[in-house]
Amino acid sequence: MSLLKQLFLAICLLLALAFAGSFLAGVESSREQLLSQLRSHAQDAATALGLSMTPHVDDPAMIELMVSSIFDSGYFASIRVVRIPDGGVIAERRATTTSDQVPKWFAHLVNLQPQGGDALIMRGWQQAARVEVLSHPQFALAKLWDSALGSLAWLLLCGVVSALVGAWLLRTQLRPLDTMVQQAEAISRREFLAMPKVPRTPELRRVVLAMNQMVDKLRNLFAEEAARSERLREEAYQDNLTGLANRRQFDIRLANQLVPNDQNAAGYLVLLRINDLGGLNQRLGGQRTDALIRDVGEILGGLLQRRDNADWLASRSRGGEFSLLAPGLAGEDAEQLAHELADQLGHLHTTGSSDRNPVAFLGIAAYRPGEDIQKVMGRADQALTQAAQSPDHPWVRLDDYDAAPGQSLHDWRSWLDDALNKGKLRLYFQPVSLCANPTEALHHKVLARLLDPQGEAVAAGRFLPWIERLGWAARFDLAMLEHCLTHLQAHPAPVALSLSTASLRESEHREHLLALLKGHPQQAPLLTLELDERHLPPASELGALCQAIRETGYSLGLQHFGGRFSLIGNLAHLGLAYLKIDGTYVRAIDQESDKRLFIEALFRATNSIDLPLIAEMVETQGELDVLKELGIQGAMGRLIGAPAPWHE
């Protein structure tokens, strides 16, 4: 029962007690007064009749007439004249009616009895008769009843006014409690809200100040853990001079890209080497050489920003050697990329190089998942060596295989359009289980397969780059969501589905997505929509988007997390269901201590806001054991289970 209802009932009970006490006290006081008045009234009437009847003591008719005239006034219960010698009745009148104005229960409760009086009728000096008068209490009861009704009406009016005023005062005074409830609920949603207005009531003021202090401490603790984890990530995986990824991060990402799974796509590896870095260092000095290295890093970083492809990775290996990992890049696009880089690098001649040789050489090599990392690196080194041997052509591209035999952009467009229009989409499901008990599934990750013209299922890693290139990512998301909702109607079990950035940023696609979600509220508890940390919209748009999706009843998660760890400070208010740690930071965690330190810091930061962590791409039992030891809630990967069609 709410405090407002309790106060209302307390006021009602208090008024009832006050009315009962006031009524009893008033009735008792009025009762004694009325009884005295009734006795006085009866005695006065008896005395008056006795004096009036004295001259007519021997005239019974006159006595009868006088008794009737007094009795008809209605204030008496009975009037009787009795002879004293023999007790005979000379005249008598009695009332047999009662008043309808007063309820019987009230008359019984008050118990106001008739009161009597008597007087003697003299014949000379002898007592001839006696007049006995009983006053009727009905008029006193009516007066007492009217008084009780008046008191009740006044107390009810006071009660209603008191209840309304009390409710208003209570609601006003307890408004900080509602704000504190919102604070507590916000903390459970990983949000930290402080109450700017402190109430004047001393008791509530202390509570509000304590809540604000707690919220500030939680926010600071979370920010400190996030900053500590970000520093660890930068020290372990970022180059200090250029701000790009370092060689360690590149090796891990390349190894992950070469793992044959549904998400990895074929692409190109670009190696860049500054020409004659040692000579430049001698001619220009260390500072200007470092500036040249930073300029090259800015070119690569700017390229990633313009391409808006977070799957790509630019890194500095050592000295003047750089690398660019471009998954999903097609052959003709690789040549265009090489021309773009060569043209931008050509403008760096003004840094002090006196000869006409290129500032840097580019070696471009194709790769595909499943290849050996040494083979890919050897191919890229070979391309870089050939480029260095021909200064007139500063880049060389080597393809060891035909990535898409006989399939042009037109072929891909026709096939994908036909597959999406005709619903040639198949759902595969990969289990996500508890680290502590791999046989217990948290949910299943929904993956896509498209049927090619031969009817074979094609993994997402092959066709997703072409879908993005054609601008059909939002269309593909809606098709996946429709298939997923249909699946949940037949097989109600928790699943997770990824969304592309196109479905989030473009208002038209976003409205279609939200309308589809609102149209299926029954599936909301079973479906979690996942956003890619590498493709998140700006913070201002992200908050509104998450709020809109949460209002539909569906949950949100974040996958591939770790590359931009500084974002964690902005994630507290999004109300996420979980974070999925990118497989880059999970691979070989049982053998590399720096990854373990990073995951520990990440766990401390997210555990302070009760945000579960799930590890991606868990491939070995050693990795799973370390994750379980660190307190990570869930894991997914080929160790847990490979993608497969749904089975009961």
Q: Per-residue DSSP letters for 39-96? A: HHHHHHHHHHHHHHHGGGTT-HHHHHHHHHHHHTTS-EEEEEEEETTT--EEEEEE--
pLDDT of residue 353 exceeding 50: no
> How would you class 147 by CB atoms within 10 Å of its CB: exposed for 0-12, middle for 13-18, buried for 19 or more?
middle
- Are 84 and 140 members of one domain? yes
Residue range 297-315, pLDDT digits in tens: 899 888 888 776 667 889 9
More confident residue, 444 or 81: 444
DSSP-based three-state secondary structure for 326: strand
Residue range 210-251, pLDDT digits in tens: 878 877 877 777 777 767 777 777 777 888 888 888 888 888
pLDDT of residue 354 exceeding 50: no
pLDDT of residue 443 exceeding 90: yes
- Are 159 and 190 members of one domain? no
More confident residue, 108 or 23: 108
pLDDT of residue 285 exceeding 50: yes
Q: What CATH number does the domain containing 275 carry?
A: 3.30.70.270
Give the containing element (helix H, strand E) for 458. strand 457-459
pLDDT at residue number 350? 44
Which token pair is 311? 């799957």
pLDDT at residue number 402? 44
Residue range 558-575, pLDDT digits in tens: 898 876 665 665 666 677
pLDDT of residue 194 exceeding 80: no
Q: What CATH number does the domain containing 106 carry?
A: 3.30.110.200
- Are 43 and 97 members of one domain? yes
pLDDT at residue number 526? 93
- Give the domain range for residue 475: 409-636
More confident residue, 388 or 176: 388
- Are 139 and 201 members of one domain? no
Calculate the average pLDDT of the chain. 81
**Residue 193 included in any domain:** yes
**Residue 404 included in any domain:** no
**Residue 644 included in any domain:** no
pLDDT-wise least confident of 5-19, 116-130, 392-406: 392-406
Q: What is the dihedral of CA 324, 328, 329, 332, to 10 degrees?
A: 170
> How would you class 186 by CB atoms within 10 Å of its CB: exposed for 0-12, middle for 13-18, buried for 19 or more?
middle
Instruction: Give the pLDDT band (50/70/90) at residue 403.
Output: very low
pLDDT at residue number 622? 92
**Residue 642 included in any domain:** no
Counting every residue written for the chain, the total comes to 648
Residue 647: count of CB within 10 angstroms of its CB: 6
pLDDT at residue number 572? 63
Give this prediction's pTM.
Answer: 0.64
pLDDT of residue 337 exceeding 50: yes
What's the DSSP call for residue 128?
E
Which token pair is 606? 């997210």
**Residue 645 included in any domain:** no
Instruction: Give the pLDDT band (50/70/90) at residue 623.
Output: very high
Q: Which of 517, 514, 534, 510 is nearest to 583 (CA)?
A: 534
- Are 467 and 567 members of one domain? yes
pLDDT of residue 352 exceeding 60: no
Q: Which amino acid is at 310?
A: A
CA pair distance 200, 583, nearest whole angstrom? 52
Contact 605, 584 (CB under 8 A): no
pLDDT at residue number 308? 66
- Are 516 and 537 members of one domain? yes
**Residue 648 included in any domain:** no
- Are 12 and 104 members of one domain? yes
More confident residue, 127 or 635: 635
pLDDT at residue number 3? 63
Q: Which amino acid is at 612?
A: P
Residue range 110-159, pLDDT digits in tens: 777 777 888 888 877 778 888 888 887 777 778 878 887 887 788 778 77
* Domains: count for the chain: 4
pLDDT of residue 488 exceeding 90: yes
CA 24 to chain centre: 55
Last residue of a domain, one of 237, 256, 289: 237
Last residue of a domain, one of 342, 371, 398: 398
Rounded to an integer, the average pLDDT of 290-298 is 89
Q: Which of 587, 527, 521 is nearest to 556 (CA)?
A: 527
DSSP-based three-state secondary structure for 270: strand
- Are 301 and 349 members of one domain? yes
Rounded to an integer, the average pLDDT of 381-409 is 73
- Are 539 and 602 members of one domain? yes
pLDDT at residue number 535? 77
Question: For residue 510, what are the CA distances in angstroms to 445, 505, 549?
Answer: 22, 7, 10
More confident residue, 350 or 68: 68
pLDDT of residue 614 exceeding 90: yes
Rounded to an integer, the average pLDDT of 101-114 is 77
**Residue 641 included in any domain:** no
Q: What CATH number does the domain containing 483 carry?
A: 3.20.20.450
Q: Which amino acid is at 455?
A: G
- Are 367 and 463 members of one domain? no
pLDDT at residue number 191? 66
Q: Per-residue DSSP letters for 12-29? A: HHHHHHHHHHHHHHHHHH
Q: Phi and psi of 152, rounded to 5°?
A: -65, -45
pLDDT at residue number 189? 60
Last residue of a domain, one of 374, 398, 422: 398
- Are 188 and 296 members of one domain? no
Rounded to an integer, the average pLDDT of 550-563 is 86
Rounded to an integer, the average pLDDT of 287-304 is 88
Q: Which residues pair with 402 in a beta bridge?
A: none
pLDDT of residue 549 exceeding 60: yes
Instruction: Give the pLDDT band (50/70/90) at residue 434.
Output: very high
Rounded to an integer, the average pLDDT of 72-88 is 79
Q: Name, of 52-61, 217-226, 227-236, 581-590, the range with top average pLDDT.
A: 581-590
pLDDT of residue 406 exceeding 60: no
Q: Is the dihedral of CA 141, 147, 152, 155 positive or negative?
A: negative
Q: Which residue has the tokens 């500095």?
A: 316
pLDDT of residue 351 exceeding 50: no
Q: Phi and psi of 391, rounded to 5°?
A: -60, -25
What's the chain's Rg over C-alpha atoms? Answer: 48
pLDDT at residue number 407? 59
- Are 556 and 418 members of one domain? yes
Rounded to an integer, the average pLDDT of 162-168 is 78
**Residue 647 included in any domain:** no
Rounded to an integer, the average pLDDT of 12-33 is 76
